[in-house]
Structure 1
Amino acid sequence: MVSQLHYHSSFLVSLACLIILFEIPPCLGSLEDYTACNKQFKCGTITAGFPFWGDYRPESCGHPKLLLNCSGSNTTMEIMNIKYRVLSLNSGTQTLRIAREDYLNGTCPSEVSSSTTLDDELFDYGPDYRNLILHYGCPANSFLGTTIPGHFSCTIDGTTNRDAYAALDESAATPYLCSKKVVVPILPIVTSSQDFTNFSKVEEALRRGFNVKRKVGSEECNECMGSNGACGYDSSSNQTTCYCKDQSSGSRTCSPSGSSPLVNFRNAKFSLVFSFVLIFTIIVIVFICKMFLRKVRLREIDQHVEEFIRNQELLVTKRYTYSDVKKMTKAFADKVGQGGYGAVYQGQLEDGRLVAVKVLRESKENGDEFMNEVASISRTSHVNVVSLLGFSYHGKKKRALIYEFMSNGSLDKFIYNKGPSDRLEWKTLYEIVTGIARGLEYLHRGCSTRILHFDIKPHNILLDENFCPKISDFGLAKLCKRDDSAVSIIGTRGTIGYIAPEVFCRNFGKVSYKSDVYSYGMMICEMVGIRKDTNVRISDATSEAYFPHYIYKRLEVGKEIRLDGVITEEDEEISRKIILVSLWCIQTNPSERPTMSKVVEMLEGSLQSLQLPPMPFLSSPPRSPTSGLHYSISSSSKSQSIEKGTTIH
């Protein structure tokens, strides 16, 4: 039903366009056409009018196939791809006398073409004509000698001394085995075979040509000219049209001479007003159809989501009404954050527990982000994955997800804020990095269904009062079987700067759980190095300086890495360990990245057991946080501003 409505609405839009094109009278163009087509024109020695055109006379004044080519004193035209010389034109009797250009100089043209054929839609043969039949390339023995009238020879198509034969109509004496035959109409000057004894008479007949009578628009044009109009031709409808001085064209005649321009103007004005009223009516109908179509679509989406909710059998996740959501948030009074899918408000349940309520904004998706979030989190139970306590769904505009409240907010504020009070100790950073790794390991291996997050970034990592990290925001998540080595996704999903290369370009490899590993590596690399409060001094920096490459080069030659907050040897060991792990995770080739289980093992193992990975050859594109913050990498000579964090759905 939706597709049918879409078809009908498109049809109405097309109809409105047609009315705009054809219903409004072309008053201005009519006068120009009248002026151009009202008079005859001179072409060579021929004076012509409708249905002919050419030279300064535009195509709208004649039939498209009746073009006269004017060159000096000669006038030519083409009929069925054969060029003819126009010798005379009689507008009163509607006849022309034409002669074939290739036979004006005799019976031996430079190249033998086809027989004469008229376009029966445009011309008829005149009453008096004979068919001159010319045979070329005849064997010499065809004539049993050379005494037969009509026998001649000439050079044809580059071959000399080939016998030829001329006859009237279909002569019984026609030779056999001739290679080519051309029929050329002539006036009845040559009347018998005896006339072929002197070929000058045949050549004169070819030069004098033959008569044809035109058939196009004679009656219609007479009516038009009788009403003081000018004849023209409408190629779109293939019909004769009539151009008038003071009104639109398109009819066969003009208005009586008594009609004043004022009357014509009123008629045109009425037609114009009627057209606009009709167009406006169609636009209103199209708008109503589109609104109805949108309601039907929204109803289908709601049914789809409701069916999903029933199939999920969410026994532990409570469904709330939208009024309950407004009550627990005190009418959305305390906004604590803004994510890619909507605003987050602090609320309180009836038992006193604090909650974070994410109100999803209206989108063009089919409820996918809502279903992804519910389907993903409802399958999880892990200390490093946020808990979904409830949800509300009442149509596309009233959707909310209710989570456990995380008092320290999201990780990004501790990375991008430069205040000393917001700076995390290296030991705390290590616990956060390890906790996120355990959460991702659980999503990839700990559930009965593997969950790929596809949007790991600081904004989606929440911290409780003890800075325990919890992965959140599963709007872009993908569920798959645990043994699937690759997944199929349409388009690109994730946040610019954290998206794995294979997600936006399949030439780098297959999309899999290793894509989350890459995003994790970019995030922890940023946590320990590219922070707004970090002033990394790079003596040989350029505008293209890229932090992972800079760090890699220093690690490769064993140089010290000076990062803010690194005081003790333990801090130094933690920072080096996290950096090495991040470089392993951001390898361009997915097969060279470790699994999250291996990442946890590397983080919990000794620094001495970690090897330096190959240098990633693909650097990440610039990123910008959703909060609008910027950070910079400063050098001794310049500071590079980088934006971060646009989410791609």
Structure 2
Amino acid sequence: MANCLLCYLFFIILLVDHGLGFNECNISRCGSFGPPVRFPFRIRGKQPPHCGYPQPGFHLSCSENNETVLELPNSWKLFVQEIDYKSQVIYAKDSGGCLPRRLILNLNLSVSPFEIMNRKKNITLFKCPSRKMKDLFNNIWQIPCLSDLHYDVLAILSDWSIVDPDIVYCTKIHDYSEVASIDSVEYQEYILLLNWYNPTCKFCEAKGKYCRLKMNTIDSETECYGSIKPTKGASTKIIATGVILGTVLLVATAILLYRRYNFNKMEKEYQSKIENFLDDYKSFKPTRYSYADIKRMTNQFKDELGQGAYGTVFRGKLSDEILVAVKVLNNSKGNGEEFVNEVGTIGKIHHVNVVRLIGFCADGFRRALVYEYLPNDSLQKFISSADDKNHFLGWKRLQDIALGIAKGIEYLHQGCDQRILHFDIKPHNILLDHDFNPKISDFGLAKFCAKDQSAVSMTTARGTIGYIAPEVFSRNFRNVSYKADVYSFGMLVLEMVGGRKIIDVTEENDEQIYFPEWIYNLLEEGEDLRFQIEEVGDAKIAKKLAIVGLWCIQWNPVDRPSIKVAIHMLEGEGENLTIPPNPFNSAVRTRNIARISRKRPPLELDVVSETE
């Protein structure tokens, strides 16, 4: 939202800039009270070269005191007082404070684009004792910048008849011809008038328009554009634009402040929730670590093991001998419930098939969980077809893993003070130790309920697509209960059997099936499962796992076994296991599938899609 407002504001500024003609070549100044500078002049450092006329004399600069400086030949610098664009005249003062010195020396401006407009006259300079001169007559001027304490320098028009008796004390210095006139103004305050003839912008000024160079022309031709004095409509447009910009800024600021306030309020509520929980949790064994401890434990988070929806897992060390897995939770997801569920659930239970929580961190808004380290990663890493000898664990070990997972689920359902429903049983959340013993992890979606409670209230579906029981999606399939974990377990077992969900396209009607349907039809037809069998008894294990999995994924929760019954089925020999009812679609679809069930499953397998 904030980004959109900023983009909108930027767009309005660009629109105003385009519509009102504001650009890099408009009027600029040296200081607040300096003369306005526009074409044919430009100020170096404030306006790019193309804003001025391409001749050296039209490039002005700013002094340290923000005075506008015009530089003439022989490095003569003038302070510009005014620029009359309509008459094309510059009014300037000598920066050295002695303009007559330049004028008397007959300054040559032939290489300059300017001409001196002051009238030219012949003058004679006299050097007079300072105390001898009394009142000066017209056409006789004292030049202080050429005088000193002992004498004054006077300038007298050469054709003037000298009648002052005091002049006899003066010594003639030199006659100068064609010197710019100094009529009625003393030299030290003399204003020099400079005129330029090219480029000619008078006709634009007369129309009240700006002047500029024509684009894409070789010759330095000029053209008129815009308006020097904003019209009433332009003024109204400026005011309206200002109102719009002000309103947008005000609304954007209000929204940002509200969002910030709301975010801080929510964060404080989440933090208070976690702190209250931790106060009640002090009697349990997991250790509370600071965030500095977590950083030291993980060597500044250098060894990343993997990422999930709620955080990133790093390898860490409690000591040289004890390795741990540290999950640093994201601040951007959840409201603290995932953290409370993890600590509140795993911290209270200890079972060989449930991952052990060693400690936790709740340092401000930074949260982390410290688990025992399991070197063989998750079961997902080892799920592969029996034909893949490089990754397949073997049927005996798969049976042991399935039995261990079932016992862990049974402990959650029956072995604790309250029944714990996991709601996210899947291969990613089954970790394997060095002997491939399975341990259930990730209790972020778990819910508690009484052991005699037959249903659980849920506001939204929770879990991972592909493993979620039908009743979790829709109440048309009965109420949600512990049987939801049984369904997820069944899908996990079938995935272990088949390696992954297998998809086949029939030759007749392009319909797609996945492994549970394919395996059900093989069993219903009385055929052997077509997997690579190396040892005696492997075929029985594969069939037993398949039947248990199919029983557990019955769509009606009532038809599914409890996890305790599933354990008895897995621990038995399997000869007495009956094939469950068809858990899939219509009989027509089943017959179509049966026709292709005699085919070997395709070699290319689709990975189970997951959403966290």
Matched, 1:327 2:296: yes
Q: Aligned-residue CA RMSD in angstroms?
A: 3.2
CA shift digits 1:407-451 (9 cap, x unpaired): 101000101598633220111111000000000000000111100
CA apart distance, 1:647: 2.9
Q: 1:279 aligns with which of 244, 248, 251?
A: 248
- CA displacement 1:381-401 (0-9 Å, x = unmatched): 1100000000001233x2111
CA deviation string 1:513-546 (max 9, x = no partner): 00000000001100011439x9999999954122
DSSP 3-state at the match of 1:466: coil
Taking the aligned partners of 2:236 and 2:405, their CA distance within structure 1 comes to: 78
- Is the partner of 1:569 in helix, strand or coil? coil
Contact 1:539 1:636 in 2 (8 A): no
Which residue of structure 2 aligns with residue 642 of structure 1?
606
- Residues 297 and 318 in structure 2, CA contact (< 8 A), matched pair in contact too: yes
SS of structure 2 residue aligned to 1:548: helix
Note the alpha carbon deviations across 1:46-78, whole angstroms, 9 max, x for none.
xxxxxxxxxxxxxxxxxxxxxxxxxxxxxxxxx
Q: Match for 2:470: what amino acid?
A: P
Following the alignment from structure 1 to structure 2, what is the Cα–Cα distance between the partners of residues 327 and 618? 55
Change (3 A) 1:414 1:640: closer
| CA-CA distance at 1:607 after TM superposition | 1.0
Deviation at 1:640, TM superposition (A): 6.6
Call closer, same or farther: CA 1:480–1:351 in 2, change over 3 Å.
farther
CA contact (8 A) 2:503 2:605 kept: no
Q: In the alignment, which of 381, 384, 395 is matched to residue 413 of structure 1?
A: 381
- CA 1:504–1:535: 2 relative to 1, 3 Å: closer
- The structure-2 alpha-carbon separation of the partners of 1:531 and 1:261, relative to structure 1 and needing over 3 Å to count, comes to closer
Q: Could you say which residue in structure 2 is the equivalent of 1:524?
A: 493
Identity %, equivalent residues: 45
2:359 maps to which of 372, 390, 409 = 390
1:267 partner SS: helix
Matching residue's letter, 1:601: H
The alpha carbon displacement at 1:556 in A equals 1.4
Q: Pick from 497, 509, 523: which aligns with 1:555?
A: 523
Q: Which residue number in structure 1 is paired with residue 543 of structure 2?
A: 576
Shift of 1:574: 0.7
Deviation at 1:340, TM superposition (A): 2.5
Query: In the alignment, does 2:576 pair up with 1:612?
Result: no
Quote how far apart the aligned CAs of 1:343 are.
Answer: 1.4
Deviations 1:320-348 (A, max 9, x none): 00111111111111111222221111111
Q: Please say if residues 503 and 515 of structure 1, whose CA atoms lie closer than 8 Å, have aligned partners that are also in contact.
A: yes
2:376–2:433 Cα contact (<8 Å) kept: yes
Q: CA offsets, 1:161-190, max 9 Å, x none?
A: xxxxxxxxxxxxxxxxxxxxxxxxxxxxxx
1:366 aligned to which of 335, 342, 349: 335
Number of the residue aligned with 2:368: 400
Superposition TM-score, scaled by structure 1 size: 0.55
Q: TM-score normalised to the size of structure 2? A: 0.58
SS of structure 2 residue aligned to 1:422: coil
The one-letter code sitting in structure 2 at the alignment partner of 1:515 is A
Pair 362,402 (structure 1): closer, same or farther in 2 beyond 3 Å: same
User: Where does 1:618-629 land on structure 2 (aligned, <5 Å)?
Assistant: none
CA distance in 2, matches of 1:491, 1:640: 35
Q: Read off the aligned partner of 1:304 and give its amino acid letter.
A: K
> In structure 2, the residue corresponding to 1:526 is in which secondary structure?
helix
Could you tell me which residue of structure 1 aligns to residue 556 of structure 2?
589
CA 1:371–1:618 in structure 2 vs 1: closer, same or farther (change >3 Å)?
Answer: farther
The Cα of 1:296 is off from its aligned counterpart by: 2.1
- 3-state DSSP class of the match of 2:271? helix
Determine the C-alpha separation between the residues in 1 that align with 2:426 and 2:337.
20
- Is the Cα contact below 8 Å between 2:500 and 2:605 reproduced in 1? no
Cα 1:277–1:439 change in 2 (3 A) is same
Name the SS for the 2:513 alignment partner: coil
Asked whether the equivalents of residues 353 and 437 of structure 2 are also in contact (C-alpha less than 8 Å), the reply is yes
Mapping of 1:249-268 within 5 angstroms? 262-268=231-237
CA distance in 2, matches of 1:458, 1:419: 18
Alignment size in residue pairs: 380
- SS of corresponding position for 1:647: coil
Inter-partner Cα distance in structure 2 for 1:640 and 1:270: 68
Structure 2 portions without partners, runs of 5+: 17-228, 587-596
Partner of 2:264: 295
Counterpart code for 1:415: I
**Residue in 1 aligned with 2:52?**
none
The one-letter code of the counterpart of 2:417 is: S
Instruction: Name the CA distance, whole Å, in 2 between partners of 1:282 and 1:340.
Output: 35
Equivalent residue number for residue 487 of structure 1: 456
Task: Note the C-alpha offset of 1:643.
Answer: 4.4
Q: Which amino acid aligns with 1:547?
A: F
Assess if the C-alpha contact under 8 Å between 2:505 and 2:513 holds in 1.
no
Name the aligned partner's letter for residue 610 of structure 2.
Answer: T
Counterpart amino acid of residue 587 in structure 1? Q
CA shift in 2, pair 1:552/1:545, >3 Å: same
2:448 match: secondary structure: strand
2:350 maps to a residue whose letter is S
Report the Cα distance in structure 2 between the residues aligned to 1:618 and 1:520, rounded to whole angstroms: 21
Residues 386 and 404 of structure 1 are in contact (CA less than 8 Å); yes or no, is this contact kept in structure 2?
A: yes
Contact 1:588 1:618 (C-alpha < 8 Å) held by counterparts = no
CA distance in structure 1 between the partners assigned to 2:337 and 2:364 by the alignment = 13
> Equivalences for 1:159-238 in 2 at 5 Å?
none
C-alpha contact (below 8 Å) 2:503/2:513 kept by paired residues: no
Aligned to 1:401, what secondary structure does the other structure show? strand
Q: Distance in 1 between matches of 2:351 and 2:378?
A: 18
CA distance in 2, matches of 1:440, 1:387: 15
Q: CA 1:485 to 1:636, structure 2 compared with 1: closer, same or farther past 3 Å?
A: closer
Q: Does 1:454 align with 2:418?
A: no
Q: 1:605 and 1:500 mapped to 2: Cα distance?
A: 26
Q: Does 1:305 align with 2:274?
A: yes
Rate the CA distance shift 1:576–1:538 in 2: closer, same or farther, 3 A: farther
Task: Find the aligned partners of 2:283 and 2:425 in 1 and give their Cα distance.
Answer: 26
Counterpart check, 1:354 vs 2:318: no
Q: Deviations over 1:262-300 (max 9, x none)?
A: 213312321321331232133123212321321122112
Whole-angstrom CA distance in 2 between matches of 1:634 and 1:274: 77
Displacement of 1:485 in angstroms is 0.6
Alpha-carbon distance, 1:646 to partner: 2.1
Does the CA contact (< 8 Å) of 2:551 and 2:560 recur in 1? Answer: yes
- Give the residue type in structure 1 aligned to 2:233: N
Aligned residue type for 1:644: V
Q: What is the distance in 2 between the residues matched to 1:539 and 1:427?
A: 36
Read off the aligned partner of 1:466 and give its amino acid letter. D
Shift of residue 552 of structure 1?
A: 1.2
8 A Cα contact 1:536 1:562, kept in partner:
no
Distance 1:541 1:343 in 2: 44
- Provide Cα deviations, 1:353-403, integer angstroms capped at 9, x if missing partner: 11111111123422111111111111211100000000001233x211100
Q: Pick one of 317, 328, 339 that aligns with 2:308.
A: 339
Deviations, residues 559-599 of structure 1 (Å, cap 9, x unaligned): 111113x2223111111110000000000000000001001
The CA distance in 1 between the partners of 2:355 and 2:478, in whole Å, is 31
| Conservation of the 8 A alpha-carbon contact between 1:500 and 1:515 | yes
